[in-house]
Amino acid sequence: MQAREVLVTGYGLVAPTALDAASLFTTISKKRSCIRQHPAFVELGFANPAAGFVDEQQWQVIAAAFPGDLQTTSRQEWLAHYVACQALAHAGLADGAFARIASGIFVGANKHCVSGDLRDASRYMDDQGRVDLDQYLDNHTLSGGAFARRVDQQTRHLAEWLGVRDHISTHSDACAAGTMAIGSAYRAIARGEIDLALCGAVELMAHELSYYSFDGLGALCQRVDFSPQEQSRPFMPDRCGFVLSEGAALLVLESREHAERRQARPLGRVLGYANLCEAEKITSSSRDGSKYAACMAAALTDAGLASAAVDHVNVHGTSTQANDRCEALGLAQVFGETIEQMTFTANKSAVGHSLAGSGAIEAVLSLMSIQLGVALPTLNFQPEKSQFPELKFLCEPLQQPINVVLSNSFGFGGVNSSLVLGRA
Amino acid sequence: MTRSNSTAVYITAASVLNAAGTECVSRDSQPQTALPLDFDTARLAHCVTAPALPAGVYDRKLSRSLEPQGARLLYCAGRLAETLRRLELPDERIALTAAIPEVDGPSSCWDAVQAIGEQPADLLAQFFAHTPPLHALMMLNSSVMAHAAEALHCKGPMGGFCSQGNAGLDALMEAAAHLSEGRADAAVVVSSSPNITPALYLRDVTHPPVNPGPWIFGEGAAALLLSTGPAKGAQSALRIAGFARGYSAQPERGVAVGRDVIERALSNEKLCLSDVGQVVADGQDPQIAALFTSAGHALEHSKALVGDLGTSALLTEIAATWALDSSPYTLLLEHSRGGHWGAVLLARALLDRETMESYP
C-alpha cells in the first residue's frame, strides 16, 4: 500500500539574533554570524564566552506575545508559543484547526536547568541532605522553582493550547531530536494516523551547565584566538569543536488530502526519512562514515529516490574533527561521482549548534532554499584550504534550482537521522 | 514511504525490575509496603536499589558511570540479550526504542545542590566539583540507548521518547511500526520510571498533573523483545493486536477520549469491549472506572505492588501479561498523570507443534 504524501504548509523559527525564518535566511545569505559573546559566560569568567543565544531584546518580544501568565510559565513555553504562532499563521491555520481533526504535536527538546536552580534548591536542604519540600513549595512562584521545568513542558503547552487529542510526543534524542520529531510526524501522517502535525524542536541550552558538560567532553571550540564569529568552521582543517547555541523551529505538516481540502499553499514535501542507531561509541561515529552513509541511503530509499536526485545537502557539520570527517566520508559513499554536481551547506557555521533545535532549524532553512532557489553559504569556509574539496560548500549564496535536499542530524550516542525534503 | 502488509508483531521475551522484584508477579500478590523517603520522611514511595548489570553483557566499567535510571533500564535490557542473540538476526535488522523520563534531569545533581547550600557564594565551583566531568553523557538518554544498542547489537531504527506519561506507549508503537512496516525484524523496547528525587515532587507542583490521583511513586524498569514470529518453542504466542493513544488536558473530556482510545485499539480485531476477557487498568482512577461501569470487567493493575512507575508502567504491565497466564484478549489501558490515554490489545494464542516448528 502506498503511503500518503506529506506536505509542509508552514513554519516558524527563532534563532540567535533572528526572530523569524526569513531574518535568519537573510543573515546567513549576507554571511553574518549569529554567534557572539554570551554576557552570562563573560560574567562567569569563562575563557571562551562564544555562543549563540536568544538575547534579552528577543525575549521581550517573545514574552510580549505570550497570552498566558508569565509568572507561572517557562521561557520554553513562551518560545514554543511564539514559534507555533508563526507556523500556524504561515500555514493559514486557526488555533482550533488541530482540535477538529486527527492531529499531533511532536517536539524535540533536552532538559533545561541553570545554576540558579541549584542554589535555590540548596536553601531548603538540611545538613543530612533532606529537602524541606513543603517549605520550598510554600516559598516559590510556579515559574521560579528549581527544577520546575520539564523536558516536555512545551509539548504540553502546545497540546493544551491547540486542543490536540491524538498524538503527543516529546523526542529527546540529543542533537537529532528535532529531525526525529519531524520524521515521526511525517510517518504518522504517511501511514494515516493523523492528518495534521506541528513538529520540530524547542531548545534552550546555551547556559553554563550545558557549557560545562559539553566542555568536559572536549566537544566545544576553545580557540579564543578566533573571534566568536570565526569559531564554528565546519569541514575546515582547523575546526576544533562546536559552538553552543539555542533556538526553536516548528513546521506544519499535512497530508496532501487535508492540505488540498482547505486549499493550503504547499511550501514543500517531506519525501523520506530514516533514523538508525549506530551503537559504535558514545561520542564518536563509525570512523569510516559507513553508518552515516547507511542512514542517508535509508532515507533516500524511503523517499524512493536515487542519490543522483539530490541537489543539495544540509550537513550536520558540527565543526568537530570527528563528526565532520565521518560525515564527509559518509557523503562520499552515498553520492559517489555525483557529489561534484551537488552543493552543500553547514548552517552551524553561522548559528552554532542548537542541539535538538538544530535539525528543525536546518529543515526550515532547507525548505527555504528549495522555495527561493538559493543555496546558503557556509561561513568561515575557505575552499582552497578545505580538507574535503569534493564537497562544494559555498562562500557566497548561490542562485540555483533546488528540487531535493537531504538534511542530516547525527546525535551523541549514535542517534543518526536524515530527512529528504523536496518541492511540493 | 511504502507501507507493507501488516506483519504481525509478537512479544517474545520480557524483563522487569521494581519493588516487587525482578520477576513478574501476579497482580493480586500481597502489596509491598511503601517506605519513607530519605530526603523527606513524610513521603512514601516504592524505591529500588540500582542493580548490578547482567554479567557478560556490558563493559564492566559501565556501572561506574551510570545514574540509577539508566542502570535500571540497562539491567532489564541486558536480560534480553541472550534471547535476542538466539534469533540470529543481522544487527541492522534490530530496532531499539526507549522511554526514559527526564533524561537530562538534574537527578544526579543533588550532591552539588547540597554543596552549593554550604557555600552559596561559590556556586559554580561547587557545582563543577560535585558533578562528574561526563555528566552530560551520563544524563543523555541517547547515552543510555547507546549502551543498550552496543551491548545488544541493535543497529536498526531507533527512537527515544521522553515524557512522564505516554513515552512507554510511544516507544512500543514506534517499535511495532518498524516491524510491521518492514524496517526491522526484531525490536528491543525499554523503559524506566523517573528517579525518585525531590525534583519529581517539585515538578508536580509547578506543573499540576491533569490526573493527579493519590498515587505513590515507584521506581522500576521494563524491557520487551518484539519480533515478527512467536518465540521458538513457546507454548503460546502473545501478539500485539491493536493500540491507540489520545490526549486531553481537560478532565471533562477525559472519559470520551478514553472511550475512543479503547474503541480504536479494539477495531483491528473487530472486537467490542465485552469480547475482552481481561482488562489491566487502574480502577482507582475515577475516569477509568467510569469507562467500565457496565462492562462487568474486574480491573486489575500492578500499581499497588510497585507504585506509579510513570513512563515504565505500561511496559511493566505488558511484561506481566506476557509472563503470566492471560485471556485470549487482554486490554491494557493507561491514563497518565499528564492526561495521556493509551490502550494496547494483546492476543494470546496456543501454538500447536506444527505451528511451533514452522518458525525458525
Which candidate, A240, A205, A224, places its Cα nearest to that of A42?
A224
Judge: B161–A169 Cβ closer than 8 Å, yes or no.
Answer: yes
**Alpha carbons B17 and B79: distance in angstroms, whole number:** 11
Contacts of B110 (CB under 8 A, 6+ apart): A125, A129, B39, B197, B198
Q: Which of residues 212-251 of A touch B (CB under 8 A)?
A: 212-214, 216-217
Residue B256 is predicted with a pLDDT of 94
Kindly report, residue by residue over A174-208, the tens digit of the pLDDT: 889 999 999 999 999 999 999 999 999 999 888 88
Set of chain A residues whose Cβ sits within 8 Å of the Cβ of B131:
212-213
Residue A116 is predicted with a pLDDT of 60
Maximum C-alpha span of chain B: 73
pLDDT range class, residue B175, cuts 50, 70, 90 = very high
- Is residue A175 part of the annotated active site? The answer reads yes
Q: Check whether A120 has a pLDDT greater than 70.
A: no
**What is the rounded (10 degree) CA torsion for A37, A38, A44, A47?**
-40
pLDDT range class, residue A49, cuts 50, 70, 90 = very high
Ranking A128-137, A261-270, B48-57 by mean pLDDT, the lowest is: A128-137
- Is residue A140 part of the annotated active site? The answer reads no
Residue B351 is predicted with a pLDDT of 79
Q: How far is CA A197 from CA A6, A158, A291, in A?
A: 10, 11, 29
pLDDT range class, residue A25, cuts 50, 70, 90 = very high
Which residue matches cell numbers 520522611? B41
Residues above pLDDT 90, as percent of chain B: 52
Q: Are A14 and A82 in contact (CB under 8 A)?
A: yes
**Alpha carbons B196 and B101: distance in angstroms, whole number:** 11
Smallest CA–CA distance from A305 into chain B, residue:
B1
Residue A423 is predicted with a pLDDT of 96
Residue B353 is predicted with a pLDDT of 58
DSSP states of A155-173: HHHHHHHHT--SEEEEE--
Smallest CA–CA distance from A114 into chain B, residue:
B106
pLDDT range class, residue A383, cuts 50, 70, 90 = very high
Judge: A168–B100 Cβ closer than 8 Å, yes or no.
Answer: no
pLDDT range class, residue B81, cuts 50, 70, 90 = very high
**Who has greater pLDDT, A331 or B132?**
A331
- Average pLDDT score over chain B: 85
Smallest CA–CA distance from A217 into chain B, residue:
B134
pLDDT range class, residue A124, cuts 50, 70, 90 = low
Judge: B206–A143 Cβ closer than 8 Å, yes or no.
Answer: yes
**Alpha carbons B52 and B68: distance in angstroms, whole number:** 11
Residue B218 is predicted with a pLDDT of 94
**Alpha carbons A169 and B257: distance in angstroms, whole number:** 17
Residue A281 is predicted with a pLDDT of 67
Give bridge partners of residue B99 from the DSSP assignment.
B161, B191
Q: Check whether A141 has a pLDDT greater than 60.
A: no
Which residue matches cell numbers 501511514? A191
Contacts of A327 (CB under 8 A, 6+ apart): A289, A292, A315, A316, A317, A408, A410
**Who has greater pLDDT, A3 or A315?**
A315
pLDDT range class, residue B47, cuts 50, 70, 90 = very high
Contacts of A138 (CB under 8 A, 6+ apart): none
Residue B145 is predicted with a pLDDT of 84
Q: For the residues A265-272, what does the mean pLDDT come to?
A: 98
Question: Between chain A and chain B, how many beta carbons pairs sit less than 8 Å apart?
Answer: 258
* Phi, psi values for residue B61, rounded to 5°: -80, -10
pLDDT range class, residue A127, cuts 50, 70, 90 = low
All structural domains of chain B, each given as residue ranges with its CATH number in brackets, are 10-227 (3.40.47.10), 236-358 (3.40.47.10)
Set of chain B residues whose Cβ sits within 8 Å of the Cβ of A113:
104-106, 109
What cell was used for A342?
Answer: 551537488
Smallest CA–CA distance from A418 into chain B, residue:
B157
Judge: B155–A130 Cβ closer than 8 Å, yes or no.
Answer: no
pLDDT range class, residue A147, cuts 50, 70, 90 = low
- Is residue A353 part of the annotated active site? The answer reads yes
Q: For the residues B242-254, what does the mean pLDDT come to?
A: 90
Q: Check whether A214 has a pLDDT greater than 60.
A: yes
* Phi, psi values for residue B189, rounded to 5°: -115, 125
Q: Which of residues 102-141 of B touch A (CB under 8 A)?
A: 102-106, 109-110, 112-118, 120, 123-124, 127-128, 131, 133-137, 139-141
Q: For the residues A54-83, what does the mean pLDDT come to?
A: 94
Kindly report, residue by residue over B148-160, the tens digit of the pLDDT: 998 999 999 988 8
Q: Check whether B108 has a pLDDT greater than 80.
A: no
Set of chain A residues whose Cβ sits within 8 Å of the Cβ of B167:
170
pLDDT range class, residue A117, cuts 50, 70, 90 = low
E strand spans, A195-246: 196-203
Q: Is B4 left (phi over 0), alpha (psi -120 to 50) or beta?
A: beta
Task: Determine contact: B182 vs chain A, CB below 8 A.
Answer: no
Q: Check whether A377 has a pLDDT greater than 70.
A: yes
Contacts of B147 (CB under 8 A, 6+ apart): A282, B58, B62, B66, B70, B74
ipTM attached to this prediction: 0.87
Q: For the residues B338-358, what does the mean pLDDT come to?
A: 79
- Pick from A122, A209, A411: which is nearest to B142 by CB? A411
Judge: A143–B134 Cβ closer than 8 Å, yes or no.
Answer: no
Judge: A415–B120 Cβ closer than 8 Å, yes or no.
Answer: no
Kindly report, residue by residue over B206-218, the tens digit of the pLDDT: 666 777 776 799 9
Judge: B105–A148 Cβ closer than 8 Å, yes or no.
Answer: no
Ranking A133-137, A241-245, B241-245, B302-306 by mean pLDDT, the lowest is: A133-137
Judge: A131–B170 Cβ closer than 8 Å, yes or no.
Answer: no
Task: Determine contact: A152 vs chain B, CB below 8 A.
Answer: yes
Nearest CA distance, B51 vs chain A (angstrom)? 22
Residue B55 is predicted with a pLDDT of 86
Q: Check whether A230 has a pLDDT greater than 90.
A: yes
Q: Check whether B103 has a pLDDT greater than 50.
A: no
Residue A131 is predicted with a pLDDT of 61
Set of chain A residues whose Cβ sits within 8 Å of the Cβ of B39:
129-131
**Which CATH class, in words, describes the domain spanning A6-113+149-422?**
alpha beta
Residue B32 is predicted with a pLDDT of 79
Active-site option among A81, A90, A167, A175: A175
Judge: A3–B100 Cβ closer than 8 Å, yes or no.
Answer: no
Q: Check whether A143 has a pLDDT greater than 70.
A: no
pLDDT range class, residue A231, cuts 50, 70, 90 = very high
Task: Determine contact: A42 vs chain B, CB below 8 A.
Answer: no
